[in-house]
Amino acid sequence: MQLSYEVKRRRMKRILKENASAYSFLLPYLVLFSIFFVFPFIYGLIISFFDWNLFFPDQTRFIGFENYRRIWFESDGIYYRYFWTGLGNTLIFVVFSVPFLVLIPLILAALIDMEPRGHKIFRTILFMPTVLSISSVILIWKWQFYTNGGFINALLVKLGFAEIPFLVSQPWAWISIILVTIWWTMGTNMVIFGAGLKNIDKTLYEAASIDGASYLQTFKYITMPSLAPQMLIVMITTVLASFGVYGQPDLLTNGGPEFSTTVLMMRIRPLAFGTNADPGIATAMAVSMGMIMIVVSIIQARIIKKRGDA
């Protein structure tokens, strides 16, 4: 028994010695990750079990799962309505934005991979919006969508069409938010898909061409299976980012019309930091949304891996 323990100890010591340089490079990241993610997550989880009072800490008291009960099951409560309407609006954005945020970058990456004349300039132009802040993006696009004096409506009037109230009516408010999001974020996914396309063995396409396969057939049976790792990354990161949407509806439509674009993050933020703050409820909502995102990500990963294996 003592010998077995000694062997394990020596083996562990040898592994640590061999990987010391790797661990030294990982250490700064692990420290920052712990400070800015692990600790806030654990602290937020703890807060969700308390009736937390920001202004009178001595009045803070432990209430267990009461905050979760109020947002999940207390159907006549305001926090229940805040949570479920906010989550519903968030899901609308996820369902209608994610397909475009994956499909459009994939098509653009495939076109650029053919390397037409000026493809590098084209790729740079498409990627440029991703470096802009959300405030800059909204300033650019809000003027385009204005009913009075907006570029798009001015153009529509010149062409003989009626003005469209993009930001104050549905479904135009959601269409505007999704269009802005696609323009702003598609460059990242395009680059990821482009890197995956460069790694595909070109002899596979040559063999398919000799066998008489069309472009659509090679894309379906060669390109898509080969892009399974990139597709997994893009799908998970895009869905997670879409669940966390905040800036676009907040700055573009202010959650309107009639709170129809008020997503869950727009309910959580004032509850966490506003004048009528209730951090316990806010963190319970955030943790609940986080759990939903984790479940969705696991399901996505399993589906994409199964298709890749098939």
Residues of the domain holding 259: 81-309
| 5 lies in some domain | no
Could you give the number of structural domains in the chain? Answer: 1
* Residue the block writes with tokens 């937020």: 44
Average pLDDT over residues 27-48: 88
Residue type present at position 13: K
Contacts of 198 (CB under 8 A, 6+ apart): 113
In this prediction, residue 4 carries a pLDDT of 66
Cβ atoms of 222 and 204 within 8 Å: the answer is yes
For the entire predicted model, the pTM comes to 0.86
| 151 lies in some domain | yes
Q: Between 281 and 56, name the one with better pLDDT.
A: 281
Distances (CA, A) of 51 to 32, 42, 67, 131, 282: 29, 16, 8, 40, 11
- Percentage of the chain modeled with pLDDT above 70: 96
Residues 206, 222: Cα–Cα separation, whole Å: 11
Residue 254 clears pLDDT 70, i.e. is over it: yes
Return the CATH number at 98.
1.10.3720.10
Q: What is the pLDDT of residues 221-253, one digit of tens each?
A: 888 888 888 888 899 899 999 999 999 999 999
| 20 lies in some domain | no
Provide the Cα torsion 261, 262, 265, 268; round to 10°: -170
Residues 242, 98: Cα–Cα separation, whole Å: 7
Helices within the chain (DSSP H only): 2-18, 20-33, 39-47, 66-72, 78-113, 119-127, 134-145, 151-158, 172-198, 202-210, 215-218, 224-226, 228-243, 247-252, 264-273, 279-309
b/e sequence 229-246, b meaning 16+ C-beta within 10 Å = ebbbebbbebbbbbbebe
| 40 lies in some domain | no
| 32 lies in some domain | no
Cβ atoms of 189 and 105 within 8 Å: the answer is yes
Count Cβ atoms below 10 Å from residue 173 Cβ, excluding itself.
23
In this prediction, residue 307 carries a pLDDT of 62
| 100 lies in some domain | yes
| 42 lies in some domain | no
| 33 lies in some domain | no
